[in-house]
Structure 1
Amino acid sequence: MSILTRKTMLYAGIEPAYGTLPAFNDSTSPILIENADYKLDLQNIDRPLYRADLSPTPDMIGRKISKLSFTHELRGSGTVGSESRLGRLLRACSLVAENKASAWWGAFLPIGNVGGAPTVAWTTGGSLSGITEPKTLLIDVTTGGLSGTAEMTITADDGTAAQAGVDMISGTAATLTTGGLSGATVTPTWSGALIAGQKWIVTVFPAGIKYQPTSVENQQESIALRLYKDGVLHEATGCYGTFKVNAQAGGRATVEFEFTGIYSTPTDAAFPVSPVFESTLPQQVELGRLHVDGFGIAGPLNNPCVVDTFSYDIANKIDPRTSINAANGYTGLRITDRGSSGGIDPEATLVASQDFWTKLANARLMPFGMRVGTTPGNSWYIHAPCVQYTGLTYKDRNGLQALDAALQFNRLNGDDEIMFYAC
């Protein structure tokens, strides 16, 4: 009997304990995927035994580890605060989920270093009611000076009118009018004289689910997978994964997963009778509000940051815990390292508009953000506080000069180099 490629189905469930099968359910376990593959990672043990001839001696087969890979669309559940099935896959790749029941402020991230400038501590207040999408603000000191003399401009990434000439008084709240944040306040506190050109970025997030990496073993969840291939069942327990995100303008964003798990012998098994899949359609990659180091904080029609593709690779390293006392010579798996790299390809500009090359040469650390989707319950925001360029290469894009800009996603305080926010 032949096996058809398209007749493939995946069930996935977070394990109640490491290596323990969850209770798979036709209503909640099926995962819509494509490009599914299964591989057996074998330890071939060579036996170069001496004889009176040069013919090879049969190898031994030692450790056996399962590898399952597939692609999933970057989409939400359709309901704010309700986890999509993509969420459990991310959690099995060292991300921890935190449900945010109401809107909240992210950190105020400085842009660049202005020599001799004082440190400013920011606090927030007022109301964030009615916020249904992330809003990123660029705060720019336009007039330097002491408290009461300094002024700032506040620009939102949604295209609403910027607030210009806002008085900066240390310890005194400034009320926002831009970005649909009327009623919210920001308060700067500092001593000394501010310098024109000091800048910060801050993002306001609506209610949603926050996913960030963890290095703490007991916070990392494992997953069990059942891959049905038209009559053949590949099952793996104790799985941890790694993933890559790819998004291209006008298309759909996808997540490429590879999971490593404990091997089980394949069996013949019919498809589940009544699987229920998610019905939410992915959102088009558009109106992404992509910004890096403040470049791109503008309305959708006058955004100077013109990027066609975005990629991110968490690059989890997964290793077996080798043990003489365990079956197959290993007692499960462990995430032992994380890479976090990616890239964008902005149109090249004059140095006066955006000095990519100096930022690369000086290893400048930069905040980054973008979104996929505009519908509440089906949008994802990608936030990184501390990226840097690690390479720039010119390329042609439809007759326009563009740059392949490699990015490294760095820690700010630890386990915070990337955040995925479903909202």
Structure 2
Amino acid sequence: MPKLTRRRVVLAKTEATYGVDASPDPATDAFICNVSSNITPSGEEVTRDYVRDVLSPIGSVVTTKTVALTIQTELKGGGMEDTDILPPEYEPLLLACGMKKSGDAATGWVYQPESDPAKHDSCTIYYYQDGLLHKAIGCRGSFKIDASVSALGTIEFSMTGLWVDPVDEAMPSPVIADIVPPIVAGLGLTVGGYSPVCNALSFDLGVSTSQRKDINSSTGVTGIEIQSRTPTGSIDPEAVTLAEFNPWTAWSGSTKAAISATVGSDIGNRISISIPKAQYGVPAYGDRDGILTYSLAFTATIDDAGTGDDEVVLTYA
């Protein structure tokens, strides 16, 4: 029988020990992923190029092996259990992007960057593709948030994990929380205190990872490490008088502005994005149905120079 593209289940669970299969359970660790999600094995190949009596190629040998996963899901909260606010179903992926968690079930859950490698979580991802199971362990990576008007917000994770050979495995029956994601409307977006007319807000955590290559590892790689991050984003506000909003002087003077927005209004399904000190790149003009706009890229920079790890804060409440 042929395999179907749309028959797909993704599970993720935080690992207690790095690189040790956390055995995610379809009853507790599943979440919806969009059809654009995919999995891509990656390996280095060494060509066996030796002098011999014929010109026929010998072939190559695959050495180090990892696996890359792109997983896009809906930007939504974890809902409520009685009076408790639950974390989002994709929390293991958030934490594996070098984010740390604080808060509580009464007020909500807060996620912001963590620089200490010893505190970086990892996760195990099970990626089922119509009876084919790919396991990725020791996964770490980055994410992008896209919030475009009158659409459903998305969060897309780009993860890299240690290679495990795929196997035939029956499709599980995942338990997915019945939570309708909020539309991108009524965000209360402000930029330095100004409320622009804007179509889209995007944010990219900008985490870079590296491989720890190891001759003792059966795949040649013993770990995936977070080594840097450069958080960036963009907005596209309508152009108004410079007295109302002047991105040119903000750019030329290297002035930083706070950006904040909240997707959703229901308790348990609200996601607030706070960037205390966004620094603009070079502004550019754009056009939206004949209306003059700005294309404003920004970098999320450190807020408190004494502590750091505060350039972006996500709150699920």
TM-score w.r.t. length of structure 2: 0.94
Distance in 2 of aligned mates of 1:308 and 1:352: 22
Tell me the equivalent position of 1:240: 140
Tell me the equivalent position of 2:71: 70
Of 159, 174, 189, the residue aligned with 1:275 is: 174
Matches within 5 A, 1:306-345: 306-345=197-236
Distance in 2 of aligned mates of 1:327 and 1:391: 47
Residue type of the partner of 1:283?
A: P
Tell me the equivalent position of 1:397: 288
1:29 paired with 2:29, answer yes
1:265 paired with 2:176, answer no
Structure of greater Rg:
1
1:42 paired with 2:43, answer yes
Tell me the equivalent position of 2:87: 83
Distance in 2 of aligned mates of 1:230 and 1:282: 26
1:229 paired with 2:229, answer no
Tell me the equivalent position of 1:3: 3
- Contact 1:81 1:99 survives alignment (8 Å): no
- Contact 2:96 2:120 survives alignment (8 Å): yes
SS of corresponding position for 2:235: strand
Distance in 2 of aligned mates of 1:308 and 1:83: 28
Distance in 2 of aligned mates of 1:36 and 1:250: 22
Tell me the equivalent position of 1:174: none
1:346 paired with 2:244, answer no
In the TM superposition, residue 211 of structure 1 has moved relative to its aligned partner by 0.2
Residue type of the partner of 2:42?
A: D
Distance in 2 of aligned mates of 1:292 and 1:333: 36
Distance in 2 of aligned mates of 1:245 and 1:46: 40
The worse-fitting range, judged by mean Cα deviation, of 324-333 and 385-394 is: 324-333
SS of corresponding position for 2:282: strand
Residue type of the partner of 1:209?
A: W
Matches within 5 A, 1:124-163: none
Tell me the equivalent position of 1:361: 252
In the TM superposition, residue 23 of structure 1 has moved relative to its aligned partner by 3.8
In the TM superposition, residue 325 of structure 1 has moved relative to its aligned partner by 2.3
Distance in 2 of aligned mates of 1:56 and 1:336: 39
Matches within 5 A, 1:170-185: none
Unaligned residue ranges in structure 2 (runs of 5+): none
In the TM superposition, residue 311 of structure 1 has moved relative to its aligned partner by 0.6
Tell me the equivalent position of 1:148: none
Tell me the equivalent position of 2:194: 295
Q: What are the Cα deviations for residues 138-197 of structure 1, in whole angstroms up to 9, with x where unaligned?
A: xxxxxxxxxxxxxxxxxxxxxxxxxxxxxxxxxxxxxxxxxxxxxxxxxxxxxxxxxxxx
Matches within 5 A, 1:245-260: 245-260=145-160
- Contact 2:24 2:126 survives alignment (8 Å): no
Distance in 1 of aligned mates of 2:55 and 2:24: 52
Unaligned residue ranges in structure 1 (runs of 5+): 103-206, 297-304
Residue type of the partner of 2:314?
A: F
In the TM superposition, residue 318 of structure 1 has moved relative to its aligned partner by 1.3
State the Cα RMSD in Å: 1.5
Q: What are the Cα deviations for residues 32-74 of structure 1, in whole angstroms up to 9, with x where unaligned?
A: 1112211011101133323455554411211010111121111
Residue type of the partner of 2:184?
A: V
Distance in 2 of aligned mates of 1:328 and 1:405: 43
Q: What are the Cα deviations for residues 9-46 of structure 1, in whole angstroms up to 9, with x where unaligned?
A: 01111111111122432321111111221101110113
Distance in 1 of aligned mates of 2:57 and 2:255: 56
Residue type of the partner of 1:65?
A: T
Distance in 1 of aligned mates of 2:209 and 2:145: 19
The worse-fitting range, judged by mean Cα deviation, of 253-262 and 38-47 is: 38-47
- Contact 1:245 1:312 survives alignment (8 Å): yes
In the TM superposition, residue 229 of structure 1 has moved relative to its aligned partner by 0.5
Aligned pairs, number: 310
Distance in 1 of aligned mates of 2:104 and 2:132: 41
Q: What are the Cα deviations for residues 314-346 of structure 1, in whole angstroms up to 9, with x where unaligned?
A: 121111111222222221111111110110000
Distance in 2 of aligned mates of 1:40 and 1:351: 50
- Quickly say closer, same or farther: Cα 1:56–1:419, change in 2 above 3 A: same
1:412 paired with 2:303, answer yes
- Calculate percent identity across the aligned residue pairs: 31
